[in-house]
Amino acid sequence: MLENYKLTLIIALISMGFFARLFGSDHEQRRTQIQQREADVPSAEALGRRARSVAFLKAKGVPTIDHLPVIEDSVTSKIRSPKAIVERLVGCTICAVGGETGDKVFVQQLIQEFKAEDFLSPDEHIFLASKIDVQQDRAQFSWRYERSWVLLWALGYIEQLGLAPIKRTRVERG
């Protein structure tokens, strides 16, 4: 029972972050974007993907919210170049390391070693510059490992996306 509660909480937190970024911070702008999105008729591809995802989650005992909107399909999504994906992979992973360790010096070494200053999003720059000491922010950015896993899959290093490994690992320095 506690496991289901934790999964529900994790899904809710991830969803809140996703929707906050998706719809922006300005209330009227957010309202307009929501109305435009609700007016769009989802494609059969997007509806099918959502149905498969919901069935998968329910089979794992994860609660779902059936009325949430679908996301882009293969026609409307923007496909990034392998170079852009690698850059995001490096940026996300460095931020995840920062979230996990809180080690400013180590993170700066990684940024310099990978020449990754331009690979970081504006939010990641803010986190690494001024919020790496805030425990809540560190927890949020440590979730970037999940993004890294998906980006590895997009690059072909992970054969099947499925679920990310459950095994926790430690980041080694040196």
pLDDT class for 165, splitting at 50, 70, 90? low
- Of 161 and 49, the one with more pLDDT: 49
The stretches of 64-143 forming alpha helices (DSSP H) are: 82-101, 104-113, 122-126, 135-142
Domain residue limits, the chain: 2-59, 82-154
User: Residue 125 — φ and ψ, nearest 5°?
Assistant: -60, -45
Model's pTM, two decimal places?
A: 0.64
Q: What pLDDT, on the 0 to 100 scale, is given for residue 23?
A: 47
Judge whether residue 170 has pLDDT over 60.
yes
Contacting residues for 92 by C-beta, under 8 A, at least 6 apart: 124, 144, 145, 147, 148, 151
pLDDT class for 77, splitting at 50, 70, 90? confident
DSSP-based three-state secondary structure for 143: coil
pLDDT class for 66, splitting at 50, 70, 90? confident
pLDDT class for 25, splitting at 50, 70, 90? low
Q: What pLDDT, on the 0 to 100 scale, is given for residue 67?
A: 79
Q: What pLDDT, on the 0 to 100 scale, is given for residue 171?
A: 62
Q: What pLDDT, on the 0 to 100 scale, is given for residue 73?
A: 87
Average pLDDT score over the chain: 81
The token duo for 63 is 């609660």
Yes or no: say if 152 and 158 are a contact pair by the CB < 8 Å rule.
yes
